[in-house]
Structures are given as C-alpha cells and as structure tokens.
Structure 1
Amino acid sequence: MNPKSAFTTLPIYLLFFTTCTNGFSIYNALFKAQSNLKSLIYQNHPIPEGYTYCQAEYPIADNYKKVPNSELLHVQLFLRHGDRTPENLIKNELVDWNDCKQSYDHIQLRPNNSEQTDITFQLIPQLPAKSSTNTDSKKDFSSKLWTGSCSVGQLTDLGKQQHIQLGKAIRELYVEKLNFLDSELSSANIERNINVRTSQIWRTQNTAESFLNGLYPSINRKNQTNIPMNYYPIQIETMLSNTIMCPKIKLILQKIALSRDYINYLKSTRKEMAKLNHIFGVNTNADSKWLYSWISHMDVLQPRLCNNKPYPCNLDLCASKQDAKFALNNANFETKYIKRDSIYSDMLTRLTAGPLLNEILVGFNKVIGNKDKNNQIPKLSIFSAHDETLTNLLGAFKANDEGILWPPYASNLAIELWKQNPSNGQSASHSIRILYNGKTLQVLGTKNETNKPWCDFNSCDYSNFEKYLTTIIPDDIIKECEI
C-alpha cells in the first residue's frame, strides 16, 4: 500500500466553505436578510428504531429469497469502510486511539517474478509519545494528535472485524446458499468470480483486505492466489465527487448552501454549534466548515461514541452523548437535503454520481451482451468506498427517508442483475434488485410522480432502470462541468 494514499477526504458538503473566500460575507448578509423568517424545525425527524451510525446490518442468508423464475447473473457491491478514527482534529486531543494494531498491509517481494516470496514488509503508522514537558512539546507536533497506534481517518481493528463479518455474510449468501460464486478461490478462477476496486485512501484498501478475508478465508484460497485491488487516480476518480475535474460542483453546492431552507436550518442550530466549537477549541475564523455544516462535529463525536471514548472537554464544559446524537441528526438532514430534496439536487447528482452510474450501466450491459462463455466477466464486482459514494448513489436512486440516512460503518449496497427465464416463446428479460444493508431499497417517485416509487427494487424491470439512469448520466461530463 502506498502510504501517501492515507490522506483524508473532506465531505463534499464542506467544499464550498473551504474553497470560497467570500463565503463569510455572503453568509453573514444572508443570515441578516433572512432573520425575520420563521425557523424551520429540523430536529423533528426522529432516527428510526435500530439505526446506528456505528454498525450497518448485514444480509442474512436465511432471509434471502431469489427473484422468482430468474437466474442471478451479476452483482455490483458497494461498501462503506468500517469503523475509523476521526478525520478532524480538535485543539486538545487527549483521547487514546490504541485501536489499530491488527495490520493486513504487507508488501511482498518476489525475485524474478517467481512464486516464492523473498521478503515481506509491513506498513504500520508510528505515533511518537507526546512530549513530557511544556518545553519539549514545542519542539515537535506530537501535541496536535492523540496517542496510540492509529493515524487520522484510519480503519480501526473494530472496522476490520466489521468487514470480515460482512465478508462472511456475503459468503453465506452468494457462495453457500446460491452457489453463485465458487467456494474456493484460485489464480485460475479469480477472473470469473470477483473484481475489486478501492479508492486511493488507505482505509478503503484495509476494508477490502478485511472483507476478502471473510469472503474467501485462507482455507478457501489456494496457495499464492493473487487478488488484484484496482484503484483510479484521484484526478479521474468516480467513487467520490470529483471537484478536481468538475469545478461546477462547487458552484451548485454554493447555491444549495445559500438557499433559504439551509440558512434557516443553520440558524436553528447556531447555539448548539457555538457550544461545541468552544469545547473543540476550533478556530472558526480560519476554517469556516465549523460554522456552516455539522459534518465535522459529527465526525469528531461519532467515532468516540462508537468506541466508548471520552468526549472532548474544555475546562469544565464537556460534550455529551446527546450532543453526538444532535450532530448526527443534523448531518442526516444535510445529506437528505443536499443529495435529494434541494431544487439543485438533481443537477448535483448528474455531476457527482453520473459518471459512477454510467459505470454501473456499462457493467450490466456488458454482462447482458456477453454471448461468449469463454469471455470471463466477474460475477461479483466489489467497490470498497466511502459514505459519500453511497450517499451519491442513494440520492440518485431517490432513497426514502430511512434509506437516505447517513450510511453506517460497513454499509453495503448490492445491485443485482437477474435474467428472467423466458416463457411461451418470449425472449428473456432482465431485472434489477437492490439490497441496502440487507433490506430491499425503498425509493420515492420522481418529481413528476411524487407518490409512487419510480421502481420496485424487489424486481425492477431493467429497461426502466436503464431509462431512469440515462436521464441522470451526462452525455458530455466535461462540457457540463464547465463554469
């Protein structure tokens, strides 16, 4: 693994505030202009029973039912990484993150392309102990980070275990119950079974390694089986909102952030936000993301909640579990409003999710059009990705209020392609089923049919699925991204 791939990512919602130099003046003016508007109540959207940010539900093989009179052809499986450390650092990082001791990262050298490993290297983050005196603490940067064995935004041992268990659940389903995948993986059959793609970011690579350890444990892998893990360079990445190649994304986010509903939402939470900013000791003048979104606050608090870590304090004032819940509820509103409900959401979806949706369609159409049995197309395409990847897709699919909640750790979105057996001389047709965290994805209607789901993902006719997605996918993404 490339240590440089361990950099962290900003949620797409924060990009406007961290890149637009006039964000403060625009927002301050609009706050004053909207001061007489009735504040909207956003906290009255209760989190459903059983939902937790800390752990997604897994598919259960015993509860799984095949699409009637159909054959499963292909699955595209999108994963959110497991439990991780925070990405945002606060002033007093006194918590210990000694939670990343299990490493699956090894670099093997094989001289002259031989089958035998000559030497193995292991990648381990090194966090020096914090200086013991105030004088020493000024000579390095150790006081700015927690102690322990974890880097910023790193997959924890718990996160690895979450994906080992998810891999086992997927094995029980697609190997043991359906006989869809081969029981044993070898260099001879890997291409017809799985394909793995990660982002450049370390935790998604750790996630894929852990997931594969559950899907194909060592007892089910032949010796020297090499499993390639592919990734796109960040400049052409499609699993994250690509603001490098598409600067127009930032302009759309600006319009959303300056909308009346979003401004009123922020006004209704300013008191709580100011309290947490004080506790965190963040410099809001230097970094405006702490003023205009709750995503960073959630990022600080949820990993601590999920790992039973103490909450941050500043003198005698401390954050609490209730604060963590409040921040999560606000983050849920933000993802729902930005990705689905804003009048600009469809425009945003075209540029953020459109390229990935195109890859999904291309993959399915390749399977449907494949008439050569010798042309091996992997049955399972694994995308080890991020919460943003899933929210982009869920927003594009118009997931209902429960489905659009922030994806928990180890979330899993399985898009299945089924071939319906022909009858009465009719040609075979195809359908799509989508399972999100073990349950059929429930969706809303389009803007023209708000009361009727645009498709039933127990078995959605493929032609309808394809037609809907083509309305979202840009014909010329480069042109549409121009400012």
Structure 2
Amino acid sequence: MTSLVPRPPYTDEELRKLYPEGLELQLVQILMRHGERTPVSARFQNAGLKPWWPYCASARQMRSVVLAASNATTGNHAFDTLEWKRRLETFGDDDGPVLARGPNAERDDICDMGSLTDLGRQSTYNLGLRLRKHYVDRLAFLPPTISSADFLYLRSTPVPRALESLQQTFSALYPPSAREPGPDGKFPTPTILTRVPGDETLYPNDGNCRRFAALSRAFAQRAADRWNNTPDMEYLQKIYGKWMPPGSKVAVDSRPRLSGIMDTVNATLAHGPETRLPDEFYDEKARAIMEKIGVDEWFAGYKESREYRMLGIGGLMADIVGRMVGTVEQQPRPGGGRIRFGLSGCHDTTLAGVLASLGAYNTDRWPPFTSHIAIELFRESKAASAPPSEPAKGNWWASILGSPPAPASIGRRPMTELTAAEREKLNGYYVRIRYNDEPVTVPACKLPGNHLAGDESFCTLAAFKSVVDKFTPKNWKEQCRMNRDQPALPTGEPEWAGY
C-alpha cells in the first residue's frame, strides 16, 4: 500500500462502541505521517523515470518574510512578505547549469527531492477534514469555531514535507471560516513548535544519536544476513535485477538499497503516468516482499531491544505520556487552560516506531502516506469532581507547559517510584490507540486489571505509563553517547516490547 485509502466513516453503532457511555474524552494526540512526496533521491533513470517531477504548484507561490524597507534603517521590527517563484537549477550534459525540467519539459511546478507534492497536500488536507468531522461534528469534543489556538499542541519535525503536511491538516481542521477574529480583527497567529536537529525526538534520530545509529546499522546488517540469500530475494532479483547498476544485485544492502527501491516504487505508484516505472515494478508479490523485509530491517529493533526503543522513540513517548499525566494533574484554572488536542507532523518511521515499541505493530505492511495514530485519553465520568476545561484563551506557554510543576509532579517519574497517593491520581483514566482509525492493543494491557472491563484496547493509564516507563530515557543526549563498546544486538532473549 502506498497512498492511504481511508476506511468509511464510523457508523453510529461503531461510534457508540468506540466511545462508550461512562467515559469522557480528555485529550487527543495525533501523530501523522506526511502526505505523498517525491523520492528522496533520483533512481531508475535507466527505466525511463525522470528525476524531476512537476507536481509542486506551490513553487509558483513562495512567500518569505523580509524586513520592511521603511524600517530597515530605523531598527523597528516591521516586516513584509516577499512573493517569489522557485525554479530548480541542475547540472547540464557539459556540467554547466541548466534548469531542471519535468517529463514534458516543464520548468515550473518542479519538486525538489523528497518534497510534498500537490497530491500530498490534498491527502493531508483531507485528513484534517476527517479529524474535524470526527472530533468536532460527531463527538463535539472540539469546538466548531475558535478564537485562539492555545489549546492545541502543534509540532513538526524540521523536514519541510512534515511541516507542510501539518499546516495542511490544521487548515482543514480549523479553516478560516472557523477562526474568530480577536480585538484587532485578526485571528491570533497559531504557534507551531519545531526543534533543532540535535534535539529532535519526533523521529528516530540516528543522525544525532551515535549509539542509536550503531543499533540501527546492526539490525540492518542482521536483516541483510537474514534475507539476502533467500527465495524472496531471488524473486526480487528476477523483477528488478535488470534495472540495477552493472555488477549489482538486489539486496537489503545493495546500491540502491532495497528500501530505496521500495521508496521509488511507492512514490511513483502514488502519482501520475508521467512519472511511472515499467509495469513490472509494481508486481504485487514483489511489493509485499519488499515491505516485509523493510519492516524487519527498520522496525524489528523496536520490538526486540529496550535500548533501541529508548533511544529511537522513548523521548517522544515519554512526552506523550507526560502530557496525559499533566491533563490528570491539572485542574481548570482562571485565565488558563490545558492542551486538549495535539497534532504532530512526522514520518513513517515515527508511526511504526511508536507502534512497534508498544508491541502493537503486528503487520508486514509499511505505513502508507498520510497514515496517522490517534492516542486518546479518557476518564471515567465519576473520576473527577469538576467538568473538563474549555479550550484555553489564556497565556500560550501556560497552555503548553501548565503551571510551574509542583515538587510532587509525576510526569516522567516511573510508576515504581510513585507513592500510593500519586498512583491513586491515575485511577479511572484510560488510553486507547487507533492506527488509521482501527484500534490497536498493547500486550500488557490485555492482562487482568490493566484494561476497561470488556475492551482490552482501553488500557489503564497506569498500565500504559508502566510500559512506556521501561523505555523512557533519563537523559537522551547522554545515553546517546553511552554503551558504544557494548554489543548492538541483544545477546540473550529478545527484550520484547509491550510489557
């Protein structure tokens, strides 16, 4: 699967089962893969595939912030917008510069490598429409109109396609017609959080975590050793071999790597006939084999190694649990509020890494473009004496961080270190995960006492936090520099995820 085919909207009966009486939705956190994109590098030009794709109409409508000319000499910080059109330049046959051109000699709308395409913008916009239909229209969890975005947690990785996908989804969740102007006649500018690459935990950061990079290489090599000399790889060689560079065979660690072949196949399959490969590239059996091997290469580490989970996705999961616990600890307060809905623009490796680390990625299929995970926090109706707070109109930083943490705050502290009174605070709260609108279940949550009676997909917050505690880093940057002389693969039994 390459482009996500959304399931039909829930029926009223399905909605009643998914959101049973007696449970109140408190917090929703969405992790979304970006939409359809171009390949991250040019491959298979020998098969007729052009390197430059004309699917980025946004390149005609670029906008940048510039200091207003009238204020450039005074030092006053007033800004203007520069509108411009981007064209890409590349090497010509004689190494001189030429304009990049599409399959039909297009010079405009040319996408960079790995760019979100027009189709990707549409699919992520459609995701926003579905989220609005679900959480605004049907559940009435979010308000239909807003005067501030302070109750939203908006975050993206620094990769442009992730940020642009987040923006597209937000623009459909709350279109201009649903944004009320403030006293100045304008809707307050929403804040989108980003991090510098060295601090990024919204994707598995092997570029800035040396130990995780070593673990990734080890599991990739294990996959190569496991799959390169198998009938499955022989089949892939039969399909793709003649298009490989001279002297090179299809392999997990070939050039291009098997995952690179899959990347180009998936990207071309999602788009138009001008950027299609020969029909044999889309052989269904071959694509299923590539995805199966790719899932093993990229995501088995999360299932089998606690250190892999901790360094690859543990920081993100600890943040997610911390916001849930913060929702439990924070009471509605005058002039303030709390996060009610989170939306994060990220990647396929984020989604699969999260699910695999929870023992809930039970598939050989790669996450399609515009896939998403919804992590929902519920409370039993009797669990609180005060009604849930309305979307905040107070200070933005207060809505993100809450009040200064009290000494007894239990955010990232392991369940094993909490007092009985602190553990009591989590009673009556449940976590449910939906991947592409289908509930998934964490193995530990199936145990007696760890789930809502009659539905194992509703995990108690205490049990869910206990699972995440086991791979929460204490100091991610420091731990990224540790254990460099230790084996990268588990030496004993696998340290299975989800418990």
Instruction: Tell me the TM-score range normalised by the shorter chain.
Output: 0.7 to 0.9
Aligned residue for 2:202? 239
Matches within 5 A, 1:133-172: 137-140=94-97, 148=106, 149-172=110-133
Native 8 Å contact 1:445 1:452 kept in 2: no
- How big is the shift at 1:109? 6.0
Matched, 1:190 2:146: no
User: What SS does the aligned partner of 1:472 have?
Assistant: coil
Return closer, same or farther for 1:355/1:429 CA change in 2, 3 Å cut-off.
same
Return closer, same or farther for 1:475/1:204 CA change in 2, 3 Å cut-off.
same
Partners of 2:384 and 2:320 lie apart in 1 by 31
Partners of 2:2 and 2:441 lie apart in 1 by 19
Aligned residue for 1:322? 282
User: Aligned residue pairs: how many?
Assistant: 412
- How big is the shift at 1:56? 4.5
User: What SS does the aligned partner of 2:324 have?
Assistant: helix
Aligned residue for 2:2? 53
Matched, 1:83 2:32: no
Aligned residue for 1:474? 473
Aligned residue for 2:229? 267
Aligned residue for 1:440? 439
Native 8 Å contact 2:90 2:100 kept in 1: no
Match of 2:50 among 94, 99, 105: 94
Partners of 1:416 and 1:396 lie apart in 2 by 17
Aligned residue for 1:32? none
User: What SS does the aligned partner of 1:296 have?
Assistant: helix
Residue 293 of structure 2 aligns with an amino acid whose one-letter code is: F
Higher relative contact order (CA closer than 8 Å, sequence separation 6+): 1
Give me the TM-score of the superposition, normalised by structure 1. 0.74
Matched, 1:211 2:169: yes
- How big is the shift at 1:195? 1.8
Matched, 1:127 2:76: no
Aligned residue for 2:266? 302
Return closer, same or farther for 1:307/1:341 CA change in 2, 3 Å cut-off.
same
Match of 2:322 among 362, 365, 368: 362
Partners of 1:129 and 1:248 lie apart in 2 by 36
Q: Which moved more, 1:427-436 or 1:194-203?
A: 427-436
Native 8 Å contact 1:190 1:227 kept in 2: yes
Partners of 1:439 and 1:150 lie apart in 2 by 33
Q: 5+ residue gaps in structure 2?
A: 72-77, 386-423, 485-499
- How big is the shift at 1:108? 5.1
- Could you give the per-residue CA deviations for residues 416-439 of structure 1, whole angstroms, max 9, x where no partner exists? 011112289998610001111111
Q: 5+ residue gaps in structure 1?
A: 1-51
Partners of 2:57 and 2:34 lie apart in 1 by 17
- Could you give the per-residue CA deviations for residues 335-364 of structure 1, whole angstroms, max 9, x where no partner exists? 246424788443311210111111111111
Matched, 1:257 2:213: no
Partners of 2:366 and 2:349 lie apart in 1 by 9
Q: Which moved more, 1:96-105 or 1:350-359?
A: 96-105
Residue 197 of structure 1 aligns with an amino acid whose one-letter code is: R
Aligned residue for 2:340? 379
Partners of 2:240 and 2:275 lie apart in 1 by 11
Residue 69 of structure 1 aligns with an amino acid whose one-letter code is: G
Q: Which moved more, 1:363-372 or 1:90-99?
A: 90-99
- How big is the shift at 1:183? 1.3
Give me the TM-score of the superposition, normalised by structure 2. 0.72
Q: Which moved more, 1:358-367 or 1:141-150?
A: 141-150
Partners of 2:254 and 2:272 lie apart in 1 by 24
Matched, 1:416 2:380: no
